[in-house]
């Protein structure tokens, strides 16, 4: 059996587990629906912590993304996976709250497709991260209005899933971040 880090949890449209598949296979041939999470960490100025994906990533290399994204291991709770990956990629942890979930389907380059049931986790943190340079090329805090404008003007700078979820995050932040 493959190493757990190379497997994703296949799910149905209601996020019920229907199997496991090797990560690259699940992202090939149009992509199979699998469980994922996206973390959005805001500071006290209501700015979003962004990461620029490492240049060696297997897809969307060098593009700007939200704070952290990944897949939970089989049997691992989404929140626990979020805390694990936040530490592994960004070098810090914070309280995370699930804001909403959604499904999306997007081509991500190199012949790969994301087809994810994505759990959106929100956190708050004000300090600089300690990035893992195998995962993250760079980082910055960005005001939501600046992100919306730049993503509209320069979508090629951003990962496809961020462009898809951005309107939902803007609405969530408008209602929930004070």
Q: Which residues are catalytic?
A: 69, 116
- Asked whether the beta carbons of 94 and 76 are under 8 A apart, the reply is no
Give strand ranges (E) for 31-158: 34-42, 47-53, 64-65, 68-70, 96-109, 112-124, 136-143
- Asked whether the beta carbons of 66 and 47 are under 8 A apart, the reply is no
Q: How many helices (H) and strands (E) does the chain have?
A: 4, 9
| Count of other CB atoms within 10 angstroms of residue 176 | 11
Two tokens at 88? Answer: 């592994």
């Amino acid at each position: 059996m493959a190493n757990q880090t190379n497997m994703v949890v296949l799910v149905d449209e209601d996020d019920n587990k229907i199997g496991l598949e090797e990560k690259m296979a699940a992202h090939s041939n149009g992509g199979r629906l699998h469980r994922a999470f996206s973390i959005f960490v805001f500071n006290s100025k209501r700015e979003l912590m962004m990461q620029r994906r490492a240049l060696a990533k297997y897809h969307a290399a060098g593009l700007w993304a939200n704070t952290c994204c990944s897949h939970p291991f089989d049997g691992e709770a989404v929140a626990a996976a979020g805390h694990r990956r936040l530490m592994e990629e960004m070098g810090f942890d914070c309280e995370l709250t699930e804001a909403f979930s959604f499904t999306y389907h997007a081509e991500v380059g190199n012949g790969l497709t994301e087809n994810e049931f994505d759990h959106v986790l929100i956190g708050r943190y004000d300090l600089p991260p300690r990035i893992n340079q195998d995962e993250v090329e760079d980082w910055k805090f960005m005001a939501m209005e600046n992100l919306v404008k730049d993503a509209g003007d320069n979508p090629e700078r951003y990962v496809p899933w961020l462009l898809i979820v951005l309107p939902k995050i803007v609405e969530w932040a408008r209602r929930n971040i004070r």
